[in-house]
Chain A
Amino acid sequence: MISVGKSVNSQQSIVNIKKYFPLLPVYGIYLLLFLIGIIYPEMWSVVTLLAFYCALGQAFNIFLGMTGYVDFGYVAFLGLGAYGMALGIDVSHQTGLNIGIIFIGIILGLLMATLLSLVVGAVALRLRGAYFAIATIGVNEGFRYLIEGAKLWGGSEGLIYFRQLNEAMGREKTNVIVTFWADVFVLVIAAISAFITLYYMRSKIGYALTALREDEDAAKVMGINVTKYKILAFITSASMAGMLGATSWGLKYTHVFPADVFEIHYTVEGIVIILLGGAGTLLGPAAGGLLYGLSKYWLGAMFPGIQLLIFAPIILIIIVAFPEGIVGTMKKKIKGTVLERYIA
């Protein structure tokens, strides 16, 4: 949180806390998800799915929603995160660190994704609009084929490490960590991302990014260091993705194949979630994740085989009827009411 200096009086610190009121509905959703999953074990399967989609949206939103730049290659950061976990476990499973290897994996995933984002940010963020979007596809695909072609990290055969986890932590612990705690971590990442989103929104960064989103050239002329904030949002978003990949893919599936983790489809899913909910809003990704995940889950369970045929028109209707997403539209409706304070 923001450190409150000695000279700041209590009134100001209340203002500071008030700034964070919009976190309440978001955290309420995540807590509710968690509690539902815990109280009704048969609901855990839905919760895991929703947690992933919410976290994906929330992490991606920091960059895509706030800057308006589309990073098609975003999935590369998740993929590298998953590789971070895989490599972490592979390297350290015999060190006797027990559960510690999970954290080595998460940190490694975070580092690898951040490192890539630094490189991509420095190079590709010089491009604008669709050129940037497609350059990032190049990075993602290039990375995938580099791993396969140069036979890095097991090449196309990937890494499978359930056995290593068993050796390091024992069977019982592995089962619980892989199928329960991995999903809890995902929720935590969603929560952290939400906090960062709001922190950025309520600080100078947010104003700079809004200016950038509206008109990049004008913002530059006004003397805003656009590049700095753009790269900051990019790196933050990427490092969240790295952790998300490490837990929701690396830890949960206990295997990594390059063709699976560099699948552009996940980026598109992230965009869909953010837009359904409302780009650049705090609550949007959570709402979009819930909507997207629930529709997929129930339609797939109810109408196996034709669920996407039903789902596609639903997306089209929402996008035409609510061009600013659910939360975006809601925000307009509640302007001037008490609720406004809680929705961002």
Chain B
Amino acid sequence: MLLQQLSGNLTQGLILGAIYGMATMGLNLIFGVMKIVNVGHGAFIMLGTFVSFAIFTYLGLTPIVAIPLAFIVGFALGSLFFYFIIGKLTNAPELNSLLATFAIGMLIEEVTKFIFGSEWRGFTWDVGRVTLPFTVLPITKIYAFIISILVVIALYLWLRMTRSGTALRAVVEDKEGARVCGINVDRMYALSFSIGIGLTVMSGVILTFFISVGLNPYMGGAYTLRAFVIAVLGGLGSPLGAFFGGVIFGLVENGSYTLLSLIPGIEPFSLTRFVTFFILLIILLVRPTGLLGVK
């Protein structure tokens, strides 16, 4: 019984973790290249969920259509913010860009509220479910899992196989060196910021495949915190690390519930959060730059 529950929770956690990981890659890419912590990260995830919501509810299309659309929206927004704000702050103290991303996040939230109102939105996209011996999986969750993996592979291939991807990695490793080698660092900044935001907005769409309710202009905060922790778990600046960090996070968050529920007199669900953050601290103590982090 217990084992059955544990494996059920771990399966769900694996899927959720893959989505978390996917949702953190954008944050990590931006940090790796520009050393900017995007405090407005959650707002972009929220934007993605609303793209998915609008496509499904207003246009009546399958939310899969929303995936490329969200990437384009995010890419465009990313370029826009880069040229008007972030790009002007590359030489300013690090904290300034942090404040700028905070304000950008706020702007996105408020504009969304202005357009969609403060209503809790949601939709139900049902394409059937698969019953496993230990849990039930709606097919949309399986889609989410597969798409997340595909995105990770695509990003990996881009970073490894293409010219621009290699240039980007060079900037991550050594900015000055890359400049000497003739890489246009500023262009790489713009590219990474736009792609990072694009990936983040896209991940919002994929998130709705797992949880399609509770959409609200202010829903992003919880995801920002999670993304931060996941990014650090995997190692800042390493998009792949982010993915593994996400999987670990999802497994721990869901898996520890079953074990904690054996302890009487406590609230296991709240304590799962404690456990995840505790593990984060332990990992940081052992490896101060995360699991796959480079110094």
Give bound CA distance, A155 to B272, whole Å: 15
- Select A135's contact among B35, B93, B281, beta carbons within 8 Å: B281
Give bound CA distance, A135 to B216, whole Å: 28
Instruction: Select from chain B the residue with minimum beta-carbon distance to A135.
Output: B284
Given contacts A319-B89, A320-B85, contact A135 B100 (CB under 8 A): no
Interface CB pairs A-B, < 8 A, 19: A68-B93, A68-B95, A134-B231, A135-B281, A141-B277, A142-B274, A142-B277, A146-B271, A149-B266, A149-B271, A150-B274, A151-B267, A311-B106, A312-B107, A313-B107, A315-B99, A315-B106, A319-B100, A324-B93
Q: Which residues of A contact B128 (CB under 8 A)?
A: none
Q: Which residues of A contact B290 (CB under 8 A)?
A: 131
The 7 closest A-B pairs by CB, nearest first: A149-B271, A149-B270, A142-B277, A145-B273, A323-B92, A312-B107, A315-B103
Taking a contact as CB atoms under 8 Å apart, the answer to whether A134 and B274 are in contact is: no
Instruction: Scan residues 257-295 of chain B and give those whose CB is less than 8 A from a CB of chain A.
Output: 265-274, 277-278, 280-281, 284-285, 288-290
Interface of B is mostly: helix
Q: Which residues of B contact A334 (CB under 8 A)?
A: none
Instruction: Scan residues 145-184 of chain A and give those whose CB is less than 8 A from a CB of chain B.
Output: 145-146, 148-151, 155-156
- Beta-carbon contacts of B234-278 to A below 8 Å, as 1s and 0s? 001000000000000000000000000000011111111110011
Tell me, yes or no, whether A35 is within 8 Å of chain B by CB: no
Known contacts A131-B284, A312-B104; 16 additional CB pairs below 8 A are A123-B281, A123-B285, A137-B229, A138-B284, A145-B271, A149-B266, A151-B267, A156-B270, A308-B109, A311-B106, A312-B106, A313-B107, A319-B89, A319-B103, A320-B88, A323-B89
- Select B225's contact among A150, A264, A271, A309, beta carbons within 8 Å: A264
Tell me, yes or no, whether B221 is within 8 Å of chain A by CB: yes
Taking a contact as CB atoms under 8 Å apart, the answer to whether A149 and B103 are in contact is: no
Tell me, yes or no, whether A272 is within 8 Å of chain B by CB: yes
Given contacts A130-B37, A308-B106, contact A145 B281 (CB under 8 A): no
Q: Which residues of A contact B31 (CB under 8 A)?
A: 130
Taking a contact as CB atoms under 8 Å apart, the answer to whether B278 and A142 are in contact is: yes
Give bound CA distance, A156 to B269, whole Å: 12
Q: Which residues of B contact A308 (CB under 8 A)?
A: 106, 109-110
Interface of A is mostly: helix
B196 → chain A, closest Cβ, in Å? 15
Instruction: Select from chain A the residue with minimum beta-carbon distance to B271.
Output: A149
Taking a contact as CB atoms under 8 Å apart, the answer to whether A138 and B95 are in contact is: no
Tell me, yes or no, whether A128 is within 8 Å of chain B by CB: yes
Instruction: Select from chain A the residue with minimum beta-carbon distance to B265.
Output: A151
From A137, A149, A264, name the one whose CB has the most chain B CB atoms within 10 angstroms. A149
Tell me, yes or no, whether A133 is within 8 Å of chain B by CB: yes
Taking a contact as CB atoms under 8 Å apart, the answer to whether A138 and B271 are in contact is: no
Instruction: Select from chain B the residue with minimum beta-carbon distance to A148.
Output: B270
Q: Which residues of B contact A134 (CB under 8 A)?
A: 228-229, 231-232, 280
Q: Which residues of A contact B111 (CB under 8 A)?
A: 309
Taking a contact as CB atoms under 8 Å apart, the answer to whether B266 and A135 are in contact is: no
Taking a contact as CB atoms under 8 Å apart, the answer to whether A271 and B99 are in contact is: yes
B232 → chain A, closest Cβ, in Å? 4
- Beta-carbon contacts of A291-327 to B below 8 Å, as 1s and 0s? 0000000000000001011011101100110011000
Tell me, yes or no, whether A332 is within 8 Å of chain B by CB: no
Tell me, yes or no, whether A265 is within 8 Å of chain B by CB: yes
Give bound CA distance, A68 to B94, whole Å: 9
Q: Which residues of B contact A268 (CB under 8 A)?
A: 39, 102
Tell me, yes or no, whether B114 is within 8 Å of chain A by CB: yes
- Select B229's contact among A138, A275, A316, beta carbons within 8 Å: A138
- Beta-carbon contacts of B96-120 to A below 8 Å, as 1s and 0s? 1011101110110111001000000
Taking a contact as CB atoms under 8 Å apart, the answer to whether A145 and B270 are in contact is: yes
Tell me, yes or no, whether A126 is within 8 Å of chain B by CB: yes
Q: Which residues of B contact A126 (CB under 8 A)?
A: 285, 288
Taking a contact as CB atoms under 8 Å apart, the answer to whether B284 and A127 are in contact is: yes
Taking a contact as CB atoms under 8 Å apart, the answer to whether B266 and A151 are in contact is: yes
Taking a contact as CB atoms under 8 Å apart, the answer to whether A323 and B96 are in contact is: yes
Give bound CA distance, A130 to B284, whole Å: 12
- Select A275's contact among B95, B236, B272, B284, beta carbons within 8 Å: B95
B244 → chain A, closest Cβ, in Å? 16
Instruction: Select from chain B the residue with minimum beta-carbon distance to A140.
Output: B277
Given contacts A142-B281, A313-B107, contact A319 B99 (CB under 8 A): yes
From A130, A144, A268, name the one whose CB has the most chain B CB atoms within 10 angstroms. A130
- Select B221's contact among A156, A265, A272, A275, beta carbons within 8 Å: A265
B262 → chain A, closest Cβ, in Å? 14
Taking a contact as CB atoms under 8 Å apart, the answer to whether A146 and B95 are in contact is: no
Give bound CA distance, A44 to B106, whole Å: 28
